Amino acid sequence: MRFIPSLALILFFAMARGQEININVSLSQPKLLEVDAGPDIRNHTGEAVILGEEVVVTGGTPDFLYRWEDPSGHELDGEVVTVEEYGNYMLTVTDANNCSAADEIAVIDAVSVTSLLSQDHAIYPNPAGNEVAVPLRDLSGEITLEIVSTTGAVVYSERFLHRGGTGPVIMETTRLPRGMYLVRITGRNKVITRSLIKD
């Protein structure tokens, strides 16, 4: 039987002889797990919406577990799911090492999207950080400014008197959770609706 000395014995004999030893060890780990659930906004046209057909997972260690969370907080298992309600859907992917990554998709009313095409009163920056500027061009008098979630809930409302002019109103968005919203600007005989994404 052939004797193969262990690394510890080789090091011991080398140190006893006063020799310098260089040991190169190559270590590797899986690439960081990342997930892209597909386009951030999906239009609901009255029929069921299929989510997950465009999911891209990079890094991590297979096998992957896919779990969606609907706007009500209910969990849906599987990479591809069919949904029928508006709101934000969060996809969480977990790999074999129990590492997780997540991405979100907003399912919105397609009718609302068509009213967003004119950008005379574009909100900026959009996506928003801590605040956004809302232009009030051509509007005067009593103005109602509302932020509406994709489920239809009014999450912010402000009423004020605007004397005209071209300057925008600055609106703080720090407390808004990440997701897709509609901004509704109501003036005398005029209602303007714009999309807003909060990062």
State pLDDT tens for residues 118-163.
455 578 888 888 888 888 777 778 888 888 887 778 898 888 888 7
CATH number, residue 83: 2.60.40.10
In this prediction, residues 10-19 reach a mean pLDDT of 60
95 and 139 inside one domain: no
98 and 143 inside one domain: no
pLDDT of 116: 40
With a cut of 90, say whether residue 57 has pLDDT above it: yes
With a cut of 70, say whether residue 28 has pLDDT above it: no
76 and 105 inside one domain: yes
With a cut of 60, say whether residue 114 has pLDDT above it: no
With a cut of 70, say whether residue 48 has pLDDT above it: yes
Residue 21 lies in a domain: no
Of 72, 93, 110, the domain-final residue: 110
Of 77, 110, 143, the domain-final residue: 110
Of 71, 88, 110, the domain-final residue: 110
106 and 119 inside one domain: no
134 and 181 inside one domain: yes
Q: Residue 190's domain spans which residues?
A: 115-198
165 and 94 inside one domain: no
Give CA–CA dist 193/123, Å, rounded.
Answer: 10
pLDDT of 178: 87
pLDDT of 142: 86
91 and 143 inside one domain: no
Residue 149 lies in a domain: yes
Average pLDDT of every residue of the chain: 79
Cis ω before 125 (30° cut-off from 0): yes
101 and 69 inside one domain: yes
Report the predicted TM-score, pTM, of the whole model to 2 decimal places: 0.50
Residue 24's pLDDT band, with cuts at 50, 70 and 90, is: low
102 and 119 inside one domain: no
Output 198 or 45, whichever has higher pLDDT.
198
Give CA–CA dist 27/114, Å, rounded.
Answer: 53
In this prediction, residues 100-114 reach a mean pLDDT of 70
pLDDT of 105: 85
